[in-house]
Structure 1
């Protein structure tokens, strides 16, 4: 023998004389779902990073965990097939097809005539965050969001509005947990009123801590104003300063906690159902 083993090598790589199959190059557009071939981590493309080690892609899985992976040859899988991801070029940006809520964006949108049905939220911060994430969807559906200036005004507002078939009200409530004052104020309101909410003390807390650059929201003792206490503990200045940080950190549904996302989606479905 001449020392060359024509049958040796890794059987999974094919014969040494076999022509290697070209690995397709795929542009790593935002929200493209891929799997890292080495670790099995599966997630959507949410960004990129660059260091002295080279280019990296950021992947976010279904639980919100974000990890960095090097943009190496054949390092990823799509539908089980190896691909090489490449970073999009600035000269050919992808046209955004998704709204901030994750829904399909409607091009050339003209706002629909407002429905009679309404969504009510407790305060201006709740209304601003709902508009920031779901504003496109609300204009497509013709849904108006109004704030109550406090849940104590709910009964009076409902009496004036007189909900009925085709005239529904969806109410988004903070701190909607068993035994709370909020729960007591929102029970037995009839079939044309739907109350949903989240367990957080304030809608600020429904913004993911990572989005505002903190590890967790501070604990504020009962009896102390929550927003003031948060800003004091984080060194954010006044509650007005803190709100600017919170509002500016929210770009899409990915920056919000799941209970708030689910609550708003249910309200939109409720007030847009046919009679």
Structure 2
């Protein structure tokens, strides 16, 4: 059945579609949080019906998730023997996770109804204060669901895209906290601080527990982050909406294959098109 945005998003509490003092105050708070550490959370962004609809949709396509079990560094690159052994690019961690690619979510389903709702993109752009603001053009990754099960998690990494918007749908019984080191790569790679995070000696790491229905805006291109391992039989579902600074950007073929288990012709046609020179 078709969905209405108002049934899914708590627009009475969070009128992202309606200019006025309530929206202005919400944007101001989110901007302040983003200025402070590159991360902001809007609690109870979804209605209970919205949480239920997204959970049902994710359950229905959970078999389409690409599960991968491998070892990666924070940049998703290969080992570089020319660097010292303890360099962050040479430190690899077990990764066990699953992503449900974007092409599994119908245009009239609840996830894309939220993404396409009036004012959603404009609200995110206003919060980020970005003049250059585009939806990620990757047909496998513009809006996806991260699915994690017992024992899974996601080790320390940087995002390829500059702005990530996540929507918590369902938590596991235990674990799954979001840990991040705010903006440690803003300006340069900052390998020394990255190493301290990996060593567990950094004083910059923050821990955040998201509840179902919470909306998070995060500058993951610059902040090292991870999802702590989960415990229990219930899956953790988190929707991810991605935005970038340049039109037409898609994932690199190597990383796309790692995350989704397949590539499309567009990934090879646009390989190497980047908005910055950071290591992925």
Q: TM-score range by the shorter chain?
A: under 0.3
Which is greater in Rg?
Answer: 1
